[in-house]
């Protein structure tokens, strides 16, 4: 009770504050030892929620202040949201809308903004999961919230979630039809409502009772009802490929970003090609969902959207873990086509921003031609390993492969060092080697000619200047590597 009072006071204060102030207050409360101790106490002595202590919300917004953010939120809801319902008491059905994520600074910012975009409808709270992690939850069990705000705001979703809002609207209509003296809807309406409720997905372990058991608990017997033959056909929402009741509008890129915020992933795969003894860097975008019939149409729409961008070879496939995954890979697809869109909407990447940042840095390092040098190649490998991702091989394994790759390349030079060429004299010294010259490849030179901060230049290292052939070579190697490292430092800092 003490914690409940604190929470109500907190939300009462939130109602009067601006969004930035709410974030600051929530951050302070979430990190507070008192807040955590009260919440942990609540977990041990949990009691049913008092419906009389509901947070009073502001009127719904007339229009969405940020349509692009709404598209992001819909993508995230597609991945992480839940739309279902439950029978609370005899002839009382409650909708349940839930959106959850691990708690961090970025998810806090996202959820607070979403709550405001929804007109502060629903409950925003934090919770300690069974694994001991803090999560942030936005939820509502209010029919008014669901039918007047949430259903419209999240109308850009697909499949099960898109149809679930339609089902909830029908369920609500059925439970309000033809009420008798005792306030209960007619028998057949409740049978329809409960049957339709049982077509909604549930999270966790599923429903405790079968449909037949639930109907009998309420004194209803569907199998003796006149609805037995007509109801299945009446409310069989089609799903799967070509489903007519589903959303047939193509998603937007902000929606894709929102979906990425859920279970999606953006990373760099390293591949060693034995034939050419070279390392390939393959950017990959992965968007997974459960492999259920209602997601087939959704993945068809995703493929169509990426096809309109000119993306080639996007694949949607099933796997043994019961997931369906859309995978896009390749430097042309990710660096040339998709990366510019990530840059345009980077403000919406929140906790996935580091994944975008890696892709952005890789793009500059490769487009500049820095990967043509051992220094640059090692930097790219180290950069990939500086971001959290599961790797089959260690960093040292790939560094050794990079060195092997350039050992073969270096053997083509008289100096045994790439970018360092031999200089022959003229006149009396014609045909005699007199020094070394550092020559950077054309793509690298052209790229940095456009930069006002640093310009790579060729440089000569004569034997007579450095007292010996070996000293001149050491100076040339040092100049080459220092120049490349300076350029890389500028590139990484700028990004």
pLDDT for residue 408: 85
Per the structure, how many domains does the chain have? 3
Does residue 193 sit in the same domain as residue 78? Answer: yes
The Cα 59–Cα 120 span in angstroms is 9
pLDDT of residue 135: 84
Percent of the chain surpassing pLDDT 90: 42
pLDDT number for residue 429: 76
Other beta carbons less than 10 A from residue 359's beta carbon: 22
Measured CA to CA, the distance from residue 183 to residue 196 in angstroms comes to 21
Select from 144, 104, 88, 98 the least CA-distant residue to 121. 144
Residue 384 in this model has a pLDDT that exceeds 60: yes
Query: Does position 15 have pLDDT exceeding 50, yes or no?
Result: no
Inside any domain, residue 11: no
Q: According to the model, what pLDDT value does residue 406 have? A: 92
User: What average pLDDT score do residues 473-486 get?
Assistant: 94
pLDDT of 113 > 90? The answer is no
Taking residues 98-112, what's their average pLDDT?
88
Q: How many CB atoms lie within 10 A of CB 439?
A: 15
For tokens 């909830």, the residue is 168
Question: For the segment 429-456, what is each residue's pLDDT rounded down to a tens digit?
Answer: 788 999 999 999 887 887 776 565 667 8
Tens digit of pLDDT for each residue in 393-431? 999 999 999 999 998 889 889 999 999 999 998 888 788
CA dihedral 47, 52, 55, 57 (to 10 degrees): 150
Structure-model confidence comparison of residues 246 and 262, the more confident one = 262
pLDDT of residue 171: 87
Query: Who wins on pLDDT, 489 or 22?
Result: 489
- The pLDDT of residue 223 is 55
Task: Examine residue 161 and state whether it is found in any structural domain, yes or no.
Answer: yes
* 125 and 172 within one domain: yes
Q: Which pLDDT does position 260 carry in this prediction?
A: 97
Of the spans 86-90, 121-125, 142-146, which averages the highest pLDDT?
A: 142-146
For residue 240, tell me if it sits in a domain. no
Which of 18-32, 115-129, 228-242 is the most confident on average?
115-129
Mean pLDDT of 231-236: 56
pLDDT the model gives residue 231: 54
* 289/425 same-domain check: no
36 assigned to some structural domain: no
CB atoms closer than 10 angstroms to residue 451: 14
Instruction: State the CATH number of the domain containing residue 340.
Output: 3.10.28.10
- Mean pLDDT, range 363-388, rounded to an integer: 90
Do 197 and 277 lie in one domain? The reply is: no
The reply to whether 211 and 254 lie within a common domain is: no
Do 223 and 76 share a domain, yes or no?
Answer: yes
Q: Which of 134-148, 171-185, 212-226, 228-242 has the highest mean pLDDT?
A: 134-148
Domain membership flag for residue 43: no
* Cα 357 from Cα 420, distance rounded (Å): 33
Contacts of 40-46 spanning 24+ positions with Cβ under 8 A: 40/128, 41/3, 42/3, 42/4, 43/128
Please tell me the predicted confidence (pLDDT) of residue 147. Answer: 93
As a whole number of angstroms, the distance between CA 183 and CA 478 comes to: 88
468, part of any domain: yes
Amino acid 24: pLDDT: 62
Domain with 220, as residue range(s), is: 57-234
* Among candidate residues 174, 203, 234, the one where a domain is terminated: 234
Residues 214, 258 share a domain? no
Question: Which range is least confidently modeled, 270-279, 285-294, 349-358?
Answer: 285-294
In terms of pLDDT, which residue wins out, 148 or 489? 148
**Structural domain includes residue 21:** no
Q: State residue 489's pLDDT score.
A: 84
Token pair of 32 as six digits: 């507070």
SS (H, E, C) the chain: CHHHHHHHHHHHHHCCCCHHHHHHHHHHHHHCHHHHHHHHHHHHCCCCCCHHHCCCCCCCCCCCCCHHHHHHHHHHHHHHEEEEEEEEECCEEEEEEEEEEECCHHHHHHHHHHHHHCCCCCEEEEEECCCCCEEEEEEECCHHHHHHHHHHHCCCCCHHHHHHHHHHHHHHHHHHCCCCCCCCCCHHHHHHHHHHHCCCCCCCCCCCCCHHHHHHHCCCCHHHCCCCCCHHHHCCCCCCCCCCCCCCCCCCHHHHHHHHHHCCEEEEEEEEECCCCEEEEEEEEEEEEECCCHHHHHHHHHHHHHHHHCCCCCEEEECCCCEEEEEEECHHHHHHHHHHHHHHCHHHCHHHHHHHHHHHHHHHHHHCCHHHCHHHHHHHHHHHHCCCCCCCCCHHHHHHHHHHHHHHHHCCCCCCCCCEEEEEECHHHECCEEEEEECCCHHHHHHHHCCCCCCCCCEEEECCCCCCHHHHHHHHHHHHHHHHHHHHHHHHHHC
Among 205, 234, 263, which residue terminates a domain? 234
Q: How far apart are CA 214 and CA 230, in angstroms?
A: 20
Average pLDDT over residues 323-347: 93
What Rg, from alpha-carbon coordinates, does the chain have? 31
Give the per-residue pLDDT at 37.
44
- 97 and 121 within one domain: yes
Residue 50 lies in a domain: no
Please say whether the beta carbons of 212 and 222 come within 8 A.
yes
Within this chain, do residues 190 and 282 fall inside the same structural domain, yes or no?
no
- Per-residue model confidence (pLDDT) at position 233: 55
Strand bridging mode 433-438 / 278-290: unpaired
Q: What's the pLDDT score for residue 36? A: 47
pLDDT band at 234 (very low <50, low <70, confident <90, very high): low
- Cα(48)–Cα(91) distance, integer angstroms: 19
304 and 405 both lie in a single domain: no
d(CA 114, CA 127): 18
- My answer on whether 102 and 181 are in the same domain is yes
Computed over every residue of the chain, the mean pLDDT equals 79
CB atoms within 10 A of CB 456: 22
Percentage of the chain modeled with pLDDT above 70 = 72
Residues counted in the chain: 495
Query: For residues 145 and 38, which has the higher predicted lDDT (pLDDT)?
Result: 145
Q: Are residues 256 and 208 in the same domain?
A: no
Residue 107 has pLDDT above 50, yes or no: yes
Position 277 pLDDT exceeds 90: no
Model confidence at 474: pLDDT above 50: yes
Residues 93-120, mean pLDDT to the nearest whole number: 88
- What confidence tier does 180 reach under pLDDT thresholds 50, 70, 90? very low
């Amino acid at each position: 009770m003490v914690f409940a009072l604190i929470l109500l006071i907190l939300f009462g204060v939130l109602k009067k504050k601006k969004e930035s102030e709410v974030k600051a207050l929530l951050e302070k409360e979430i990190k507070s030892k008192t807040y955590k101790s009260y919440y942990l106490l609540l977990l041990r002595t949990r009691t049913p929620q008092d419906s009389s202590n509901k947070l009073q919300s502001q009127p719904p917004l007339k229009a969405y202040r940020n349509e692009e953010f709404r598209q992001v939120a819909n993508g995230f809801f597609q991945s992480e949201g839940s739309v279902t319902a439950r029978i609370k008491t005899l002839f009382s059905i409650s909708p349940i809308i839930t959106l959850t994520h691990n708690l961090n600074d970025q998810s806090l910012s996202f959820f607070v903004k979403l709550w405001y975009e929804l007109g502060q409808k629903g409950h925003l709270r934090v919770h300690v999961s069974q694994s001991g992690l803090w999560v942030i939850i936005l939820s509502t069990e209010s029919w008014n919230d669901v039918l007047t705000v949430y259903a419209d705001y999240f109308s850009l979703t697909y499949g099960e979630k898109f149809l679930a809002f339609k089902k909830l609207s029908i369920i609500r209509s059925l439970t309000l039809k033809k009420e008798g003296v005792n306030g209960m809807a007619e028998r057949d309406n409740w049978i329809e409502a409960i049957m339709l409720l049982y077509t909604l997905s549930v999270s966790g372990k599923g429903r405790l009772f079968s449909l037949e058991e639930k109907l009998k608990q309420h004194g209803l017997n569907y199998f003796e009802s006149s609805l037995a033959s007509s109801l299945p056909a009446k409310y069989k929402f089609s799903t799967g490929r070509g489903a007519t009741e589903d959303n047939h509008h193509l998603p937007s890129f902000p929606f894709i970003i929102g979906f990425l915020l859920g279970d999606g992933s953006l990373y760099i795969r390293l591949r060693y090609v034995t034939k050419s003894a070279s390392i390939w860097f393959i950017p990959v975008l992965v968007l997974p969902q459960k492999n259920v019939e209602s997601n087939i149409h959704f993945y068809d729409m995703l493929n169509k959207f990426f096809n309109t961008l000119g993306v080639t070879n996007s694949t949607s496939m099933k796997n043994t873990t019961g997931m369906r995954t859309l995978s896009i890979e390749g430097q042309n697809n990710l660096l040339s086509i998709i990366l510019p869109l990530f840059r345009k909407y980077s403000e919406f990447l929140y906790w996935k921003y580091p994944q975008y940042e890696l892709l952005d840095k890789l793009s500059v390092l490769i487009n500049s031609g820095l990967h043509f040098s051992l220094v640059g190649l090692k930097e790219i490998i180290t950069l990939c390993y500086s971001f959290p991702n599961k790797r089959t091989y260690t960093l040292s394994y790939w560094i050794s492969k990079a060195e092997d790759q350039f050992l073969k390349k270096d053997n083509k030079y008289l100096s045994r060092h790439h970018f360092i060429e031999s200089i022959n004299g003229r006149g009396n010294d014609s045909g005699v080697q007199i020094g070394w010259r550092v020559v950077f490849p054309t793509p690298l030179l052209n790229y940095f000619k456009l930069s006002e901060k640093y310009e790579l230049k060729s440089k000569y290292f004569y034997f007579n200047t450095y007292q010996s052939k070996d000293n001149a070579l050491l100076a040339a190697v040092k100049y080459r590597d220092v120049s490349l490292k300076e350029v890389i430092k500028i590139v990484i800092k700028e990004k």
